Structure formats: structure tokens, C-alpha cells
Amino acid sequence: MNRFPETLIQIHYHVRTGGVSQVMRLYADAFRKIKRGKSILICSGNGAGKIPGVEQINIEEFDYQQFTDICRFLSMRALLKKKLLEILNGANLTFPAAVVAHNLNLGKNPALSAAFSEIAREWNGGDVRFFSVIHDFAEEGRLEQLKSLQFLEDSGIKIKPDLYSLSAPVNHVVPGNCGFEILSNTGFRVTLLHNPVRKEEISSEKVSRDIVLKRAAEAALQDDTEINLSKPIFCYPSRVIYRKNPLEAIALACLIFDSTLLLGTRGTGRADIDLFNEIRTIIRETRLPVILDAPSRIFYRCQGNPAALLYSVSDYALSTSLAEGFGYGLYEPWLYGKAVLGRLPARFKYQDGMDSSLLYTRLPLPSEWVDIESFRRKYIEEICAAGMQSDQRDFQEWAVQDGKIDFGILDWDNQVQFIRSITAESLKRSHWRENLEEKQDGWPGISRFLTVDRVIDRNRTSIEQGFSGNCFLERFRACFSQKCAVVPLSADYEGIKKSFYRGSYRFLLQRPGKNPV
């Protein structure tokens, strides 16, 4: 009979605010409820503080690293392997122990990914089980990761088998249906472990709509813009990063629904900060009713989850992300009685019983409003740099359908240009809104978003039943009680890449023209 671990060791790059850090806290909490054993987190230490009840071991070199020198990569791999082994061999562990690595398949520090897989292949110590939790995929269009990994491959370092721990006794775990389907279809042994979705109670005495509106108006004045307090409030609870497609959220809330938008917190990377500052400039130029960094500027005296605070005072929640591993922003708002409007991420599926009719797959606009040739040129340039190939001959056919192009596939520069032009030209804006009144391929029509009560009741009930804390504890126990099987060399890594193609093309989650570094 398989035993539940006595020790839990989680590995990640950092503890910065985000979905993975949230999941690590949930794992630590679930482990504590099931088995009051030793719980350890090994990471760089960079981020938002320690997880309660968890011993945190900081190794600075665990954080994001890219390598343009092979000797440096090899020495870093050896260093990280040595430091990990020192912990595993000397931490006075009680066995069995579970070593749970998060998102190492992304290769944001390929030396760490390689060290983890090598240790799993070579381990001959106590009863240690190795798990790789895959929240996201580099192959879904994360260009900077793909370019970095391609450099290693071109230099003779076979990094790809280490990203997915081929020939190592490692069990893969995914939180979402999309990842489960992709890995299952490509020959990997994989366990689906949905994250729990919980509602955080917010005191109405500390957070009221009147207080929020007053602070929002003050923040708007500081940003040299203005808001209409009588209009609906939309919230975008996600971090403001490229993959979350923030300009589309601004277009939806302000240009299509003529409402105020409370924008979430900025990302923490240098490129994310640059992105946030550029959005600030756009808002000031266009005077669109957007409150930047709303959680810290409006709820600065309130304790609690920033997203929960936003849900509590908004009329609707927006999700415009191009890809999600689990997608808290697509689930949580329903528990607060708020409908989620926005984009259906690539290959994302709600659980059975949930209504996805308020999610679209295309936000269409006339293709003549976009510099298609500029978009094509940037796209092909970035694709080639990432070691991928696309047939340039049918680019127009892929990008333009019925004379329209999807806002979400555009590069950053074209998105910015579109928002500036449509804000300045009222007739153009009116024409776009009239066009969006109609149901189109991938777009349900604006009127569909106006009848949400039945959908809210249905989805809230479905989430309460399928994503409860008790359900998660049962699945967590079963998942990490498993023995680990060797990942076969026959597992089809190339099949993972192909899963994210749409014909000859793919979404770029870090769109050409403004790629992070």
C-alpha cells in the first residue's frame, strides 16, 4: 500500500506574488492538514514573504536565469545539483519524502531543471518520490524561454529531455484539463490535480462601494484621467503581464462596455515594470477610465487577497489571458456572484456543468485598421529566433478571416496603435461597437454579456461542488501517495509543441515588438 509522505519538499524559482506561489501555499496547507510532518520550500527567496508553517531554504541561484555561455550553464547545473543534494541528504528527512518541483519544465532556469532531473535519475538514497507540477508550457508561445532553450540545444546541450524528466522516475502533475490532455496524448504518465477554489470573506465595513468609488476618483485625478461614478465597474484581477493580454481588457471595459476598469497589480520583472509604465502613459494620453494598480491604491488599508477585494466591489470580472494552466481568474469571481467576461484561453476547458457562453475566442476588428505587413514581419522574425518554423505563404489566410483580425493575436505595437486611434476617432469607435453587437465567428455579440444571472448561479454551484477544499484534500492525498514511474524516452516531447499550433501558426504570449528580457 502506498504511503502518504512524511516530508514535503517544494522547489520553485521564487515566492513572488502569482498563481504558482498561491498553489505552493495550498499544497503546504493541505499537507499540514493531512500529515503534520516536515514541510520545506527551496527557492531563491525573492518575493512576497514566507509561507506559514514552512521551513524556507533560500538559494539565490534558483531564480530565473538565461544562459548564453555553455561553460557557465554547466558550472551552474553542477552547483545547483550539489546544493540540492546537500539538502536532500542532510535535512534529517523523515521518509517517505515527496520532492515537488513547480514549473521547471518552463526552463526559466534551465540549469535548475537539469539538476532536478539528474538527481531524480541518479537517486539511490531513502524513499524519495519526485514530482513535476506543470502549471504552464514554454511551448504555448513563451518566446523568451523558447529562444533561450534553443540556444542551449544549438550549442549541443540536450536540455529538452531534462525539462520533462525523460528516463527519470518522476510523476507529472497538472492543475488544468488542457495540460492533462496534452501530456496524456503524448505518452506521459500524468495526474490531474485541480486546485481548490475558495471564497474569502471580506468585511463590508472595511470595503464598501462608496469608499472604493471615492478612492478611485482620487486615483484618477492623480493619473490625469477621470471616471464616471455612475457607470459599471469592471475588474481585471490578474497581474499586468504580457501573457494576460492587458490591453484587451482595457479595450473591452472602456471602449466596448463604456465602463470603469480597476486594473490589477503589476508584474515584478523588469520587462513587466516597463509594460506597466507604458500602459500608464497610454492611459494618460487617451484619458480612458482605468485605475492602475487598483488593489494597492484603493484597498491600501485592507487586509486580504487583492483579487477578492476587487471582486467584492466590481460589477463584472474580466479575463483576457491568452493561456492559463489553471486560471483562477476564470473561476474565483463566480463565487463572489460576479460574471467572468472575456477570452477563452487556448485549449482551456471549464469543468463539466459550467457555462462558458460569456467567453469568446476572437475579438474581431476590421483588418484594414491594422498594419498586417508590419505584424507579419515581426511575427516571422520572432518565430525564427525561437527555433520554430511557419509557412509564410498562408499568413494572411491564418490572420484574417472574413475581413477581420483578432485583437488578441496582434503584436503589442499594433494593439497600442489601435487603442490610440479608436480613442481619438469617435466615429471609428461607434462603428466598431455596432459591428460587435452582432454574433460572429468566435464572438457571441454584446447583448449576450447583458444577461448573466442564470450563468452566475449555475457556475457558482458547480465550482462549490467540484473545487471544494475537501475534494482537493482527497485528491492531494491520492496524488502524492503514488510511487513514481520512470518517464519513458518514447514520450513525445515534439508532440507537446505541435499541440499548441493552430495550423502553421501559434499565439505568441510575449508578442513581437515588445518582448520581455
Q: Which of 177, 194, 200 is nearest to 466 (CA)?
A: 194
CATH 3.40.50 is right for the domain spanning 198-361: yes
Beta strand 339-343 with 359-360: parallel, antiparallel or unpaired?
Answer: parallel
Query: What is each CA distance from 407 to 28, 77, 364, in whole angstroms?
Result: 39, 41, 6
Phi/psi for 234 (5° steps) reads -105, 145
Beta strand 400-401 with 404-406: parallel, antiparallel or unpaired?
Answer: antiparallel
Q: Are 139 and 188 in contact (CB under 8 A)?
A: no
Q: Which of 212, 211, 213, 222 is nearest to 292 (CA)?
A: 222
Other Cβ atoms closer than 10 A to 37 = 17
Q: Which residue carries 519524502 as its cell?
A: 97
The x, y and z cell numbers of residue 439, run together, are 454574433
The x, y and z cell numbers of residue 499, run together, are 499541440
**Domain positions in the chain:** 7-196+468-499, 198-361
Q: Which residues pair with 266 in a beta bridge?
A: 240
The x, y and z cell numbers of residue 156, run together, are 549541443
Q: Are 279 and 351 in contact (CB under 8 A)?
A: no
Q: DSSP letters of 179-218?
A: HHHHHHHTT--EEE-PPP--PPP--TTTS-HHHHHHHHHH
| Helices 19-34 and 469-480, axial angle in degrees (round to 10) | 80
Pick the CATH number of 7-196+468-499 from 3.30.110.60, 1.10.443.10, 3.40.50.300, 3.40.50.2000: 3.40.50.2000
- Please report the pLDDT score of residue 211 as a whole number: 80
State CA 392 to chain mean position distance. 29
Q: Which residues contact 497 (CB under 8 A, 6 or more apart)?
A: 139, 388
Q: Which residues contact 271 (CB under 8 A, 6 or more apart)?
A: 242, 515, 516, 517
Position 21, amino acid? S
- Please report the pLDDT score of residue 517 as a whole number: 33
For 46-185, list the strands marked E by DSSP.
55-58, 97-102, 128-133, 170-174
- Please report the pLDDT score of residue 129 as a whole number: 95
- Please report the pLDDT score of residue 390 as a whole number: 64
Q: Rounded to whole angstroms, how far apart are CA atoms 228 and 287?
A: 12
Q: Which residue carries 499550433 as its cell?
A: 501
52 preceded by a cis bond (ω within 30 of 0): no
Q: Rounded to whole angstroms, how far apart are CA atoms 282 and 180?
A: 39
Q: Which of 318, 354, 350 is nearest to 333 (CA)?
A: 318
Q: DSSP letters of 460-505?
A: HHHHHHHS-HHHHHHHHHHHHTSPP-BPPTTS-HHHHHHHT-BTTB
Q: Rounded to whole angstroms, how far apart are CA atoms 234 and 70?
A: 48
Same fold, 7-196+468-499 and 198-361: yes
Phi/psi for 49 (5° steps) reads 105, 175
Quote the DSSP letter at residue 516. Answer: -
The x, y and z cell numbers of residue 162, run together, are 531534462
No. of helices (H) and no. of strands (E), the chain: 19, 16
Q: Rounded to whole angstroms, how far apart are CA atoms 149 and 481?
A: 33
Q: Are 481 and 127 in contact (CB under 8 A)?
A: no
| Helices 143-154 and 110-122, axial angle in degrees (round to 10) | 60
Q: Are 44 and 61 in contact (CB under 8 A)?
A: yes
The x, y and z cell numbers of residue 460, run together, are 457558482
Other Cβ atoms closer than 10 A to 156 = 7
Question: Residue-wise pLDDT tens for the chain (517 aa)?
Answer: 478 999 999 999 999 877 888 899 999 999 999 988 899 999 998 876 788 889 999 999 999 999 999 999 999 999 999 999 999 998 678 899 999 999 999 999 999 999 999 999 999 888 999 999 999 898 887 777 888 898 899 999 999 999 999 999 999 999 988 899 999 999 999 999 999 998 887 766 667 778 888 888 888 888 888 888 889 999 999 888 888 899 999 999 999 999 999 998 887 777 788 889 999 999 999 999 999 988 888 877 666 677 888 888 899 999 998 888 788 899 999 999 999 998 998 778 888 889 999 999 999 999 999 988 888 888 877 777 666 666 666 777 778 889 999 999 888 889 999 999 999 999 999 999 999 998 999 999 998 888 888 899 999 999 999 888 899 999 999 999 999 999 998 898 888 887 776 554 455 654 544 443 3
Q: Rounded to whole angstroms, how far apart are CA atoms 314 and 278?
A: 25
Q: Are 387 and 144 in contact (CB under 8 A)?
A: no
Q: Are 62 and 14 in contact (CB under 8 A)?
A: yes
